[in-house]
Amino acid sequence: MSIKLRLILMNFLQFFVWGAWLISLGGYMINTLHFSGGEVGTIYATMGIASLFMPALMGIVADKWINAERVYGLSHIIGAVLLYLAAQVTDFGSMYIIMLLISMFYMPTIGLDNTVSYIVLEQKGYNIVKDFPPIRVWGTIGFIVAMWVIDFLHWTISPMQLYIGSGASLLLGLYAFTMPACPPEGKGKKGSIVSALGLDAFVLFKQKKMLIFFVFAMLLGAALQITNTFGEPFLHDFAKNYADSFAVNHPGILMSVSQISETLFILTIPFFLRRFGIKKVMLMSMFAWVFRFGLFGFGNPGPGFWMLALSMIVYGMAFDFFNISGSLFVEMEAKPEIRASAQGLFMLMTNGLGAFIGGMVSGRVVDYFTQNNVTDWHYTWLTFAGYALIIGVLFMVLFKYKHNPEAIKDIKH
């Protein structure tokens, strides 16, 4: 098997593990375990907590002491054991602790997957910029396939989704040890712990423009966590009135349209960036979140199905236009010596603080609109839409940035 095919398999499994449970776990916890919205949101917030420190710590280990592919493999093997245990617990306290541990070992593997891929491609003489994106797209495909498997087998509200994730994680963990060696390049080199943790990028907060940008990155990270946590529970609740509908019987497939849309919108980013500039593209993302939530608020599996479907398509713009363009903005604004740290700070604000805030606050909102175990999803989603609208208006007023087409004319992907 060629090295490209081996990396494709690694990336496919990396996100298959996550796709098996990330979107459907909320429905399982609410409909089967009968957790409250606040409890579900708190459990999803564990990914934000873990993202605050574990990727940096695992990165230090891979940089200085242990081969990256071994750290990667061990993380997945430990994750497999934890996912197996999560499938067997039914109380909130145990589930919270185990999901926190799962997040602590899974979230670092996203970066480690990139690290192993980059090193192996370099070793074999490939061009990373040209050859990695076609490999990485198989990760998104893996995520979608996992969602379809769980949906078609009717495991969206079953602990089987966690067993499937566990099996895939164990397979990937063992497979990682067969990858070419990726030795620690920083072994024996001295460097400050501040630099190693990416904290030197905090100097960017001294710039008003960057401070405003990172605050809004955190707020948009919260929006992403809302849809991950409560998308499927929302669709499951339509079973009372639309029991035979496609949305109720196949919520995973419907939700996967969001990921399909994501892969398509990625291809349009270079055009939009060149034509409109980063600020307008990021504003498009923010107002796309308004439509994402608003369409959920008015849609249903019957005559309003088109609104649910359109919401899934809009998700691609909402997610990609901020995350990809935001990453490019950081790349252009940060000095070369802190660009890697600046990207880490961007991820910390979105997947760390943003995800934590989104999980905690959204759960409280859902509980507020829930009476006698019945959630008023219409007002719940309109509240989230109002949140996104306020973010968009404030960003439009507060964030000052003049479009310079020359600065992004060389963007290829």
Q: Confidence band (pLDDT; 50, 70, 90) for 95?
A: very high
- pTM (predicted TM-score): 0.79
Tell me what pLDDT residue 284 has: 94
Tell me what pLDDT residue 270 has: 75
Mean pLDDT in residue range 25-48: 92
Tell me what pLDDT residue 326 has: 78
Contacts of 334 (CB under 8 A, 6+ apart): 201, 204, 341, 342
Please report, for the chain, the start and end positions of each structural domain, with discontinuous segments joined by +. 1-183, 195-413
Q: How far apart are CA 134 and CA 71, in angstroms?
A: 24
Question: How many other CB atoms are found less than 10 A from the CB of residue 85?
Answer: 17
Longest alpha-carbon distance in the chain: 65
- Range scoring the smallest mean pLDDT among 82-91, 169-178, 226-235: 226-235
Question: 55 and 47 in contact (C-beta within 8 Å)?
Answer: no
DSSP assignment, residue 302? Answer: S
Q: For domain 195-413, is the CATH number 3.40.718.10?
A: no
Helix (H), strand (E) at residue 269: helix 269-276
Tell me what pLDDT residue 412 has: 42
Q: Helix, strand or coil for residue 371?
A: strand
Q: Is-same-fold flag (1-183; 195-413)?
A: yes
Tell me what pLDDT residue 125 has: 86
CATH topology of domain 1-183: Growth Hormone; Chain: A; (1.20.1250)
